A and B are shown apart, each in its own frame.
Chain A
Amino acid sequence: MTLPTTVAMSRAMQQPAYTAVTPRTTLMRPAAAPAVRLPKPFRLMFSVLRHNAAAPAAKPTKVVWSDPVRDYVGRAFDPEFAIEGISHQDTQEKLKSVIGYYASMAMQDEIDWATYPLPQQIIAQERNAAQASSPSLDGFSSLHQPNGFTNPASASKKRKSTDVAGFQDHAAHAPIPPWRHTNLQDRVTLATKHNDKRQKKHLGETVSKLEELELEKRKQRFQLETVDRTTPPPDDDSHSDMLSGPIVGTNQKLEKSFFRLTAPPDPATVRPQDVLERTLAHLTKKWKAEKNYNHICMQFKSLRQDLTVQHIKNAFTVRVYERHARIALEKGDLGEYNQCQTQLKELYEQNLGGNPVEFTAYRILYFVYTCNKTDMNDLLAELTPTDKSQEWIKHALAVRSALTLGNYHKFFKLYLVAKNMGGYLMDMFIERERLYALANFSHAYMSVALRFLTDELAFESDDACREFLESHGVAQYIVEDSVDDQLELRVKVKEARRVFEQLRAAAFSIVDIKGQI
């Protein structure tokens, strides 16, 4: 994928990049479409345009402005897209001439207005061309070339809002075409550091070079595509892409925003495996340094997507899923973990390496957490005697059986010796089991020493234990009492029985994980 689209994606997630317009077919009866009432200058624009358009054609027919045109006009006047140094008037002039030009040839419906440069951008580009005294690069006229900006297949509404945004970051590298960039660091920062203010501030100085770059880049992009897709119409072509098997990506960027696919992927947006391998290393490093989970998670999702569309199924795939699963566990994102786990299960079945033993153990613990007896049974059915002799799995199975038999003494001891991510997984249900144990105590004992609870329920200290009890609203049952002439804190569990029972019931009723089938 080329750069601006990436940025567009990240932006599109923050805010819709376009204004919703109710579909309508004619402009002649504005009252019929009250959904969007244009401000006065806009309405004026249309009347002028209508005039202009009708005049050269010398026909009295009504020109019907489609929604993309209206949207385009709207954007031309949107302050968000205003460019410093280009007046409202100039923009309006340019707009008139652009739309009028197409209307005179009755081509206004064939243009992809969503990606067509805004009038102010065209002006900026023209000025820049004039400054650079290169008369050949007349922005406006060059746009009318057949492989200009009118390819509808690759156009995306989301892209337009950030075309400008992509420019500046390449200002520094002006002589090198952006698609040949190998300096990865600056691309990496691009997606995250991007923000509107900065963009506006710098735009005045850099816009000219950027426009040029952008234009050339686009040309390049579309030339590539026109080579690819000469004869068949784009839609059929993409369809045959899908049927013809995996694509091979050409994107060289390390990071890429995640987007669910709604159409067959474009090889230009997909990263090949060697890039992805660097991406994985990069993400791992970044995770350790920044611990920004949301960002890393999205990056992993796009990484997984790129693997999938290219049908890459090997040891590296396993590594990606394992890494993502571990990170998700660390942050307690069980929905994402569960997705990885499902994938890993299938990958392990194909003997692609990795750490099946470790992750089988996690799966057992996961099913303990979700109380999913059916899945647990299926999992037990799959375990071989060799599996059961592995330390990891033994531990997980012991946890499972301890809980089934209500042997919480053993369970909390196992909690203390859980290894790697197992501890994080057990954290997910440790509180629940503590409440279960307390409910249990409340039936079997009159009162117990706080220290006893600390030890049995694997709290770090008496204070931690006390805090836990207090946070669950049983503070009034903690009393100071003398046993064998020594003062100690005791918990009157029997009196708190009703509270503990309620807590236990509540804790066991809420196992609901998003993303779980």
Chain B
Amino acid sequence: MQAALAPFHEAHVLGRGYEVADILSSFPPPNNPGRLYDFHRASNERQIEGDVRYALKYSKVSHISAKESIAWTEIIVDYWHVVTKILSAEEATNKRQLGDRQWVEVYEAWRNLTQLVSRHISNGVLPPWGIWTLLRMANHLRLLAVRADEQLAKARPMNLNPVLQDDIAGTVTSNQKLEEAARVFNRIFSLCLGDRNPNPGDSRKWAVYCVANLQFRTYFKLKAISLSKNVVKSIGAQGDLPPFSRYPLGHQVTYKYYTGVLSFLQEDYPKAEEYLQEAWAKCRQDALRNQERILTYLIPCRLLTRHAVPTATLLSSYPNLKQLFGPLISCIKSGNLAGFDEALLSGEQEFVKRRVFLTLERSRDIALRNLLRKVYLAEGWEDLKEGQTETDRIRKSRIPISHFATAIRIAGNGQAVEDDEVECLLANMIYKQQMKGYIARERGMVVLNKKGAFPNTGV
């Protein structure tokens, strides 16, 4: 056990919370697949406690106080027991002899371990960097909870507990354990947010955004996205956090990404654009996967807020996005309504999965605007009146509704569109200020502004 805990002592002396967490990990590192097994072999059920206590007490490297030593002993002994469970669950999985609740038990044991660490941190027994150990363990808890839920879903399609319920369904969820884990995360979040350590360098407040991101991730998975709002609210209400820009960049980017997506889902597109743009700007150059994620929401967002389509150069750097948005974007540009509908339909499944469908659908307006603008350009120029010169020449501003109707029918590739419907679409364009002017229904004309008939498009 002395040898097995040597890395622990090293990490402890250097105060590296993540490294300690890697030693207390629920799965072995890729370069040492037998690590958990070795650790398990280093002791046995009877001697583990004495071994660990001895190893901590007589370490030559680190000098741990008696109180802290007791805490770590408790943690490591508990960890050893969980490892026993993990190993037997894996073995059973490989042999296909998995017990009904084996992974659930692993999850529960890991949850207790996480709560144990959390408790010691809360009591101030562990050094300040212990919070990073806890966070890493919490992330493992999330993964184990997902696994436990998978097993539960397979083992038992329904539970028998709704006795005091007025309705049949409702209490039974397929994500029972992850929901429970979410509550654990919530407590860790308060533990960090409410830390009163007077020394700012040691404050657990530095972990706030990291926990928040873990919570977001969990809530998104649980389809309980609205719960994320509480996290954002609590952070907003906490006035004494260190400046956001001083947090690790990774925390910043992830946090902005999630808050951006949250605003996006709440249809607050200007805010969403702001947050996503910030995440985009701070995201590492080589983190293509993350950039792609940010753009998945930033592109639809900017379609709506600025009627701006992404450039071909941008899309070409992200093959996935090009495949996803490419067809739609080219139809928007050309005002091809039928093509747009088709692209939207064929991509619907992917769009819905990423929750951008309902937003993208609205960009049909831009395709329509581009089409109507083409009609306007094709109408040509007014004749010059007496005394006017070539510089006074203006475009024709009175355009028959029927011209627009024809264009819409052509672009709609044969879809039946009634005259009144065309008028309705035009009215909608005017209402949304994509087109300036008014409809003179009795004369069957659209009277466009002489200047800026289609704002922000150069005509």
Residues of chain A having any CB pair with chain B under 8 Å: 242, 245-246, 260-262, 264-265, 301, 304-305, 307-309, 311, 313, 317, 339, 342-343, 345-347, 373-374, 376-378, 380-381, 401, 404-410, 439-441, 443-446, 448, 452, 455-456, 483, 494
Apart from A311-B162, A377-B358, 5 more pairs, CB < 8 Å: A245-B160, A406-B428, A407-B421, A441-B427, A446-B438
- Chain A residues with CB below 8 A from B425, complex form: 406-407
- Chain A residues with CB below 8 A from B165, complex form: 308
Q: How far is the CA of A441 from the CA of B418 in the complex (A)?
A: 18
Most chain B C-beta atoms within 10 Å of own C-beta, residue among A313, A408, A445, A483: A445
Cβ–Cβ contact A408 & B163, under 8 A:
no
Cβ–Cβ contact A409 & B167, under 8 A:
no
- Chain B residues with CB below 8 A from A381, complex form: 349, 352-353
Cβ–Cβ contact A346 & B169, under 8 A:
yes
Q: How far is the CA of A350 from the CA of B172 in the complex (A)?
A: 13
Cβ–Cβ contact A409 & B424, under 8 A:
yes
| Surface stretch bound by A, among B65-73, B115-123, B237-245, B361-369 | B361-369
- Chain A residues with CB below 8 A from B430, complex form: 443-444
Q: How far is the CA of A380 from the CA of B439 in the complex (A)?
A: 36
Cβ–Cβ contact B166 & A305, under 8 A:
yes
The 11 sampled A-B contact pairs (Cβ below 8 Å) are: A261-B163, A261-B166, A343-B167, A346-B170, A347-B168, A347-B169, A381-B349, A409-B418, A410-B424, A444-B427, A444-B439
Q: How far is the CA of A264 from the CA of B353 in the complex (A)?
A: 42
Q: How far is the CA of A313 from the CA of B167 in the complex (A)?
A: 11
Cβ–Cβ contact B168 & A346, under 8 A:
yes
Cβ–Cβ contact A343 & B358, under 8 A:
no
Cβ–Cβ contact A407 & B265, under 8 A:
no
- Chain A residues with CB below 8 A from B353, complex form: 381
Q: How far is the CA of A405 from the CA of B267 in the complex (A)?
A: 15
- Chain B residues with CB below 8 A from A374, complex form: 225-226, 265, 355
- Chain B residues with CB below 8 A from A313, complex form: 168
Per CB-CB distance, the 8 closest pairs between chain A and chain B, nearest first, are: A444-B427, A346-B169, A409-B424, A406-B428, A444-B430, A440-B431, A409-B421, A381-B352
Min C-beta distance of B80 to chain A, whole Å: 34
Q: How far is the CA of A443 from the CA of B436 in the complex (A)?
A: 10
Q: From B341, which residue of chain A is reached at the shortest CB distance?
A: A401
B383 interface residue per 8 A CB criterion: no
Q: How far is the CA of A456 from the CA of B423 in the complex (A)?
A: 11
Cβ–Cβ contact A339 & B167, under 8 A:
yes
Cβ–Cβ contact A444 & B438, under 8 A:
yes
Min C-beta distance of B230 to chain A, whole Å: 15
The size of the chain B interface, using a CB distance under 8 A, is: 45
- 0 or 1 for each of B406-448: is its CB under 8 Å from A? (1 = yes): 0000000000001011011111101110000011111000000
B164 interface residue per 8 A CB criterion: yes
| Residues 360-383 (chain B) with a chain A CB within 8 angstroms | 361-362, 364-365
Cβ–Cβ contact B441 & A407, under 8 A:
no
Cβ–Cβ contact A343 & B169, under 8 A:
yes
- Chain A residues with CB below 8 A from B166, complex form: 260-261, 301, 304-305, 308
Residues of chain B having any CB pair with chain A under 8 Å: 160, 162-170, 172, 223, 225-226, 265-267, 348-349, 352-353, 355, 357-358, 361-362, 364-365, 418, 420-421, 423-428, 430-432, 438-442
Most chain B C-beta atoms within 10 Å of own C-beta, residue among A264, A305, A406, A439: A406
- Chain B residues with CB below 8 A from A260, complex form: 166
Q: Pick from A246, A342, A456: contact of B170, CB below 8 A.
A: A342
Cβ–Cβ contact B441 & A405, under 8 A:
no
Q: How far is the CA of A342 from the CA of B172 in the complex (A)?
A: 12
Q: From B353, which residue of chain A is reached at the shortest CB distance?
A: A381
Known: A347-B169, A406-B428. A445 touches B439 (CB 8 A): yes
Known: A265-B163, A401-B361, A409-B418. A378 touches B223 (CB 8 A): yes
- Chain A residues with CB below 8 A from B223, complex form: 378
Cβ–Cβ contact B431 & A380, under 8 A:
no
- Chain A residues with CB below 8 A from B168, complex form: 304, 307-308, 313, 317, 343, 346-347
- Chain A residues with CB below 8 A from B365, complex form: 405-406
- Chain B residues with CB below 8 A from A377, complex form: 352, 355, 357-358
Most chain B C-beta atoms within 10 Å of own C-beta, residue among A374, A409, A483: A409
Q: From B437, which residue of chain A is reached at the shortest CB distance?
A: A444
Min C-beta distance of B301 to chain A, whole Å: 14
Cβ–Cβ contact A406 & B432, under 8 A:
yes
- Chain A residues with CB below 8 A from B423, complex form: 409
Min C-beta distance of A276 to chain B, whole Å: 13
- Chain A residues with CB below 8 A from B169, complex form: 342-343, 345-347
Q: From A375, which residue of chain B is reached at the shortest CB distance?
A: B223
- Chain A residues with CB below 8 A from B418, complex form: 409
Q: From A382, which residue of chain B is reached at the shortest CB distance?
A: B352
Known: A260-B166, A308-B162, A343-B170. A405 touches B426 (CB 8 A): no
Cβ–Cβ contact B352 & A407, under 8 A:
no
Q: How far is the CA of A445 from the CA of B440 in the complex (A)?
A: 7
- Chain A residues with CB below 8 A from B420, complex form: 409, 455-456
Min C-beta distance of A54 to chain B, whole Å: 45
- Chain A residues with CB below 8 A from B225, complex form: 374
Cβ–Cβ contact B160 & A311, under 8 A:
yes
Q: From B223, which residue of chain A is reached at the shortest CB distance?
A: A378
Known: A260-B166, A265-B163, A313-B168. A405 touches B265 (CB 8 A): no
Known: A308-B166, A342-B170. A404 touches B358 (CB 8 A): yes
Q: How far is the CA of A317 from the CA of B164 in the complex (A)?
A: 17
Min C-beta distance of B113 to chain A, whole Å: 29
Known: A305-B166, A308-B165, A343-B170. A439 touches B431 (CB 8 A): yes
Min C-beta distance of A366 to chain B, whole Å: 16
